[in-house]
Structure 1
């Protein structure tokens, strides 16, 4: 019996040397990015004295996903994955060293982060698209669970480490540490991964005519993926519930003030716990059957904000909501792999990731608008209702309509 038919185990996942390499590189990436953006935010504040500009700086690293996901994702299938991931780490090394030591004005620093960030969705897509090749069937789903847990833990650990490094070495030292982490990740990836061929090295067939430019190909393949009802439904199922839940988390600062960090940390714990519990203790078929109810349930705890809970209650609510929305994603992973053409798998995963990042930003903005019209706690309640309604509307993709062909 293969892992396609039975549940995989974490032992089987980590038995893959290539996955251990990807896991190590991913951990360094997430932790390093948290340190980098925290250091950059502190550096901008030290230069300008503006708390608003400092906060905006912390979020600027997420904005390029919109542009990169729209115009550049075909590179994930055109270029060999190892070379692409190593190039991504080396680009981060150069970026951090320039930010730390080049004495750039603030506008140039932000422009550099935006420009180099355009390729972030491409590097991430190359890594994710490689996972089904290394770990087929349910082992791939469990690998995604491991990376979800790692992402949550590395975000918390990276912020904690970033704060300590900032206190000891200042923003410049923190950026230098991030450059060192990226250099280490580049070495790990270069010498730990085989040199797999590009999926679309010949630029033909599904990916389009030979000689087509990367931007034109990205736009055309994105349109083709979104025109496919099955793929479009699975993309929306991955985007909407989790984006709305994250949007609700954006209200923790106006709702809880200085104590918001505790609730946001609880949301990260929920993300890790949901991925681990459903990944470890639920069968592959069970995960797929739970995708729809978990999507609906992810919005239900947010209704409790109607009674304006205190800090502990708010933290528990966002933790439960984050756990359900993240666990729901695991049930969609094999469906998505089966639904997209293999030659453009990298772009498909990149589109899913870029759409999720964009959706989370839009979700936070929409919840903010709702809070202006009503109040922070009622905006969270409305977000819970929107999560439930959108999940019900996507029931075909979250349930029967997304079944893999026999």
Structure 2
């Protein structure tokens, strides 16, 4: 029986040396990014005294995904993945040192973060596209689940560490610490990862287009494919709506919102681990549709205005169900996209998810302004159920037509 039939194990995933290298560098990346954005926000606030600019500084790192995901993703398939990932770490090193020690005005700091962040989707796409090569079949799905759990844990750990470093060394010291983490990650990648070749760029780009034109062309081709488009929407819509509901925890719970947001991270980890460990590959795929719907159903309970414990439990269940749905889609997505543009396809999925989550939070905020926070969350739950039903073909069989 193959690992694809019986399901891989986490032991088999971590037995792969190259995956351990990617895992270590990814952990440093996520933790370092949290420290960087926290430190930048504190630095802007110290310079200006403006809460609005401070909040904008914290969120500015997410905005480049829209532009980078639209115009630059083809670079993920045109450049050797190790070189691309190392370059990404070195860009972060230089960015953090410039922010920390050059005394740039606030507008220049924000512009620097925006400009260098344009390539973040490309660096992430190179990492994601490499996983199916290192760990084919179900092992790839478990590797994705490990990185999802790591992202949640490293975000919490990075924020906690960032707060401690800020208290001890100030914003400049925290940015310097982030530069050190990125430099360490660059060393880990450079000396721990083989120099895999770039994907078949000549076959993927027969017209000889530049990276911007090629990215636009391939994005159009991917979105024109009904199966790929359906799988992209299935990865974007339900999870973006659930994350939008999480954005309402602060207005709904006030200072106690951190408890519910921590519960969301626990749900993400639990959904990935339990289903990854105890459910077969075919079973995970069968669960994708039902758990997409289930991710929205708990949110409807906000109509009863639950207290802190109830709200935390609801968010935990919704996030866990969303994680299960995402796991069930991964192998279908790898099978659906052409191998020569896999990096761009993964980058498009990631960029769309980041953009969708930002839009989801904004739309929920508008709904809350017109109604109330708990009502907005209920509406999000209903929208999650309806969007999952609309995407039933992609969520049930990966968009394949029945034989």
Decide: shared fold, TM above 0.5.
Answer: yes
Deviations 1:344-377 (A, max 9, x none): 0000000000000000000001101111111111
Counterpart position of 1:209? 207
Counterpart position of 1:302? 299
Q: 2:339 aligns with which of 342, 351, 362?
A: 342
Is 1:198 the counterpart of 2:195? The answer is no
Whether the 8 Å contact between 2:329 and 2:398 is mirrored in structure 1 is no
Whether the 8 Å contact between 2:227 and 2:400 is mirrored in structure 1 is no
Deviations 1:217-263 (A, max 9, x none): 00000000000000000000000000000001111111111111111
- How far residue 206 of structure 1 moved from its aligned partner, in angstroms, is 3.3
Is 1:402 the counterpart of 2:399? The answer is yes
| Stretches of structure 1 lacking an aligned partner (at least 5 in a row) | none
Rounded to whole Å, the distance in 2 between the matches of 1:260 and 1:51 is 19
User: What are the residue-to-residue correspondences of 1:3-402 with 2, within 5 Å?
Assistant: 3-200=3-200, 203-210=201-208, 212-400=209-397, 402=399
Rounded to whole Å, the distance in 2 between the matches of 1:378 and 1:58 is 27
Rounded to whole Å, the distance in 2 between the matches of 1:43 and 1:405 is 56
- How far residue 208 of structure 1 moved from its aligned partner, in angstroms, is 3.5
Rounded to whole Å, the distance in 2 between the matches of 1:351 and 1:50 is 34
Aligned length: 403
Deviations 1:293-314 (A, max 9, x none): 0000000010111111111111
TM-score if structure 2 supplies the norm length? Answer: 0.98
Rounded to whole Å, the distance in 2 between the matches of 1:24 and 1:95 is 21
Query: Matched residue of 1:334: which SS?
Result: helix
Deviations 1:83-128 (A, max 9, x none): 0000000000000000000100011000000000000000000000
Query: Matched residue of 1:22: which SS?
Result: helix
| Stretches of structure 2 lacking an aligned partner (at least 5 in a row) | none
Deviations 1:142-183 (A, max 9, x none): 000000000000001101111111111111100000000000
- CA-based RMSD of the aligned residues comes to 1.1
Stretches of 4+ aligned residues off by more than 4 angstroms = 403-406
Query: Matched residue of 2:198: which SS?
Result: coil
Rounded to whole Å, the distance in 2 between the matches of 1:405 and 1:141 is 24
TM-score if structure 1 supplies the norm length? Answer: 0.98
Whether the 8 Å contact between 1:335 and 1:404 is mirrored in structure 2 is no
Rounded to whole Å, the distance in 1 between the matches of 2:187 and 2:365 is 42
Rate the CA distance shift 1:381–1:205 in 2: closer, same or farther, 3 A: same
Deviations 1:54-107 (A, max 9, x none): 112111100000000000000000000000000000000000000000100011
- How far residue 405 of structure 1 moved from its aligned partner, in angstroms, is 9.4
Which segment drifts farther, 350-359 or 313-322? 313-322
Deviations 1:258-306 (A, max 9, x none): 1111111111111111111111111100000000000000000101111
Rounded to whole Å, the distance in 1 between the matches of 2:198 and 2:78 is 6
Rounded to whole Å, the distance in 1 between the matches of 2:118 and 2:16 is 31
Whether the 8 Å contact between 1:100 and 1:172 is mirrored in structure 2 is yes
Deviations 1:128-147 (A, max 9, x none): 00000000000000000000
Whether the 8 Å contact between 2:231 and 2:398 is mirrored in structure 1 is no
Rounded to whole Å, the distance in 2 between the matches of 1:405 and 1:127 is 33
- How far residue 21 of structure 1 moved from its aligned partner, in angstroms, is 0.1
